[in-house]
Amino acid sequence: MGDLKTTYLGLALDNPFMMGSCGLTKTVDGVQRAADAGAGAIVLKSLFEEEIRLDFAGTTDAFAGYPHPEAAAYLDADIAAHYGPEKYLRLVEDASKAVSVPVIASVNCVSAATWTTFAEQLEAAGAAAIELNIYQLPLDASLSAAAVEEVYLETVRAVRTRVKIPVAVKVVPEITNLVRFSLALQDAGANGLVLFNRFFHPDIDIQTEEMSGGLVLSRPDDYRQAMRWIGVLHGRSSGSLCASTGVHNGETAARMLLVGADAVQIVSAVYSQGRTVFRQMKSELRSWMDQKGYEHISDFHGKLSRFRLGDPEAYTRAQYIKAFVGAE
């Protein structure tokens, strides 16, 4: 039977199927259930930078000059009811003690502002690693792509100086040159990348002609963008690569490992099919490995990356060509 052990961010994982950051990992009970279901590691629900800054500054300072004091009070109450750094540190500590698999803290941040000292507290609370979920929607026409990217790099540098534990960056696909950027993130101190974050995109109800909620969960065929970019990045740097988006079965996990992912994160499949997907995916991956005669993940890890294949056209092709896809 195939051995599923892998290494991600220098952490030894029993298997590559991680529970990704989401509402199911915001309590110790949720973490425990994911571990019991067989997850190889667990990423906690993100704590938002605003919550940390609010805690450090106090409401008065955080909202100094804010035009609507009642709105500040509302935000304060809302955020305190939601999480707060103190609660989050307790979650990190209790969850890390409750399970034997690595528990990774996650911070959703938009800058390298004062919050980064909190990274030290996450480390002290027992986080095995920190995943930085850095993103701001660049709507300001005066901001260059380089300026947007610099925010990511500054944040990683600031966190790196604070902690010794591994730091992963969860990136978005909307980066002009992801290959160059991934190397810059590594120089800034990132130990690995998670590809990709999947943000909520609004939709429109054409009857009411109003903006409405869009699809929240991914679908099983949403994996290709992450797969292509992991395949492009594998072998270009020494950092870890983790797939996130569209991993709904063991076959897709095999694809991600074949192009060079060290681990995969699962969220939508757990929401739609329940936590039993961990066992199911492990069994599917093992069956495929048995069929192929692979004993260890290292036997096929990165076998189909662009680097290993020697820059095949499959990775560079972006246009539809009849011979390849049957349509033009």
Ligand X SMILES: Cc1cc2nc3c(=O)[nH]c(=O)nc-3n(C[C@H](O)[C@H](O)[C@H](O)COP(=O)(O)O)c2cc1C
Chain positions contacting ligand X, by CB under 6 A? 20-23, 45-46, 106, 108, 133, 170, 197-198, 216-218, 244-247, 266-269
For residue 244, the minimal CB distance to ligand X (Å) is 4
For residue 58, the minimal CB distance to ligand X (Å) is 25
For residue 264, the minimal CB distance to ligand X (Å) is 8
Question: Which tokens is 172 given?
Answer: 């978005």
For residue 207, the minimal CB distance to ligand X (Å) is 26
Q: Which is nearer to ligand X, 72 or 172 (CB)?
A: 172
Q: Which is nearer to ligand X, 4 or 281 (CB)?
A: 281
For residue 26, the minimal CB distance to ligand X (Å) is 8
Closest CA to 246 of 266, 276, 270: 266
Residues 234, 238, 240, 244: what is their CA dihedral angle, to the nearest 10 degrees?
-30
- What is the rounded distance in angstroms from the CA atom of residue 326 to the CA atom of residue 304? 22
CA 232, 112, 235: angle at the middle one, nearest 5? 15
Q: Which is nearer to ligand X, 63 or 159 (CB)?
A: 159
Q: Which residues contact 189 (CB under 8 A, 6 or more apart)?
A: 156, 157, 159, 160, 161, 167
Q: How far is CA 79 from CA 137, 161, 197, 254, 256, in A?
A: 21, 28, 23, 40, 37
Using DSSP's 3-state secondary structure scheme, residue 270 falls into helix
Give the burial string for 157-179 (b: 16+ CB within 10 Å, else e).
bbbbebbebbbbbbbbeebeebe
Closest CA to 275 of 96, 41, 100, 24: 24
Q: Is residue 108 a contact partner of residue 47, using CB atoms and an 8 Å limit?
A: yes
Q: Which is nearer to ligand X, 25 or 96 (CB)?
A: 25
Q: Which is nearer to ligand X, 246 or 260 (CB)?
A: 246
For residue 296, the minimal CB distance to ligand X (Å) is 25
Q: Which is nearer to ligand X, 59 or 193 (CB)?
A: 193
Q: Which is nearer to ligand X, 112 or 134 (CB)?
A: 134
For residue 107, the minimal CB distance to ligand X (Å) is 9
Closest CA to 216 of 199, 240, 236: 199
- What is the rounded distance in angstroms from the CA atom of residue 94 to the CA atom of residue 156? 26
